[in-house]
Structure 1
């Protein structure tokens, strides 16, 4: 037997074991970093969806403070979503096209995250003058909305439209929330615990709903790593 060869082989094997032990965790860490979700600022979004007043913002964009009324007549503010990941959308109860698929998919997501206290949902009516508390209550019952998990809200039209355009960057710039102003969007928006936008999804598309779930998992992993 060639003992010199044996010694070299043993040394090579030992080197590979040590190299693997050191490099694999580093590689895993790099992969994890690469998978971190993007934080969206106005400059990252299609300009047609961004209000003129915020187009210059390159960092630290967050959802503005809000005050809305939910299906139970309760005042809902950003404090209800403190330290929560949430999914937001814009709808109206009389909608007979995209809102049907959106409501179904939001309900499916609610069921999927039913026992996850980190996840909440927030729907904003774009016809608040029609969608009163009683109308929203009936809608919530029909859609299986879980109180405390999913708030279906109404409020000042201008306030809601400002949120849609200046906070969520979810709709094409049209009007200022006046009487004849109307917005309609299929977007679901993923918001993190710091009120930052981390993703946009087509609320009528099943594949996008699966992508949203994957992104929520990544976001939760991001918080676990801190």
Structure 2
């Protein structure tokens, strides 16, 4: 009786085995799709971070074209970041508070991905009138910045502040980039190869840096599967 039951069960066992081989990988792939990072548009961000002129945008937001100058006096534009995943932040060289941890954490990321040609970094000075190319060069040398990997930039103040407020949504303060305007933020912003925002992170917190590393991996996997 038991032998007869076992013989009848063999086709069922074979079916279950084949089902597991075929369905489980498919199910795993479906789960991986759900792990894709969010694409941030103005409507998805804290309204206090979004310039009034941008709040109506619900899709297809990208970082605006930019033109800056790096620590070597080289012109840096969005073309330098074409087909790159990058992390952006806003800092100033005389900062003695959050910028210290931010620079350390950005340096750690740079060293972690220094051989990864897909990943780059971009820092914008919020005191460009003070942070000249010479000042930025000295700062970059102190922080171990790798040329071509991490651009420490200066430029027109109105341009940088507009990027912070209308492209990256990185600051809470309102302003127009004039001489009395000043922004200060700990935000690291993850940007994909299409210039879309894919994540925000506190650049002073270790936990957020670990999340950023995981999100960069997810983003790389997303591109690898295309």
SS of the aligned residue for 2:199 comes to: strand
Output the CA distance in 2 between the equivalents of 1:87 and 1:174.
Answer: 23
- What's the counterpart of residue 43 of structure 1? 43
Residue in 2 aligned with 1:87?
87
Deviations 1:106-162 (A, max 9, x none): 001000001101000000000000000000000000000000000000000000000
- Give the Cα–Cα distance (whole angstroms) in 2 for the partners of residues 221 and 53 of structure 1: 34
The equivalent of 1:122 in structure 2 is: 122
Deviation at residue 6 of structure 1 after TM alignment? 2.1
Residues 148-202 of structure 1: per-residue CA shift (max 9 Å, x gap): 0000000000000000000000001411000000000000000000000000000
1:68 aligns with 2:57: no
Q: Are 1:89 and 1:124, in contact at CA under 8 Å, matched by a contact in 2?
A: yes
Aligned partners of 2:105, 2:173: CA distance in 1, in Å? 26
- Contact persistence 1:162–1:177 (CA under 8 A): yes
Q: Is the 8 A contact 1:50 1:173 kept in 2?
A: no
- Structure 1: which 4+ aligned runs deviate by more than 4 Å? none
How do residues 99-114 of structure 1 correspond to structure 2 at under 5 angstroms? 99-114=99-114
- TM-score normalised to structure 2 length: 0.98
Runs of 5+ unmatched residues, structure 1: none
Matched ranges for 1:179-190 at <5 A: 179-190=179-190
* Count, aligned residues: 226
Q: 1: CA distance between counterparts of 2:123 and 2:202?
A: 15
Per the TM alignment, residue 3 of structure 1 is displaced from its structure 2 partner at its CA by 4.6
- 2:15 corresponds to which residue? 15
The one-character-per-residue Cα deviations of 1:22-56 (angstroms, maximum 9, x if unpaired) are 21022111110111111000011000000111101
* Equivalent residue, structure 2, for 1:145: 145
Partners in 2 of 1:17 and 1:99 — Cα distance?
Answer: 56
Provide the C-alpha distance between the structure 1 equivalents of 2:6 and 2:183, rounded to a whole number of angstroms.
75
Contact residue 51 and residue 173 of structure 1 kept, 8 A: no
**Could you say what secondary structure the match of 2:86 adopts?**
strand
In structure 2, the residue corresponding to 1:178 is in which secondary structure? coil
Does residue 202 of structure 2 align to residue 219 of structure 1? Answer: no
How far apart, in 2, do the equivalents of 1:15 and 1:150 lie?
Answer: 54
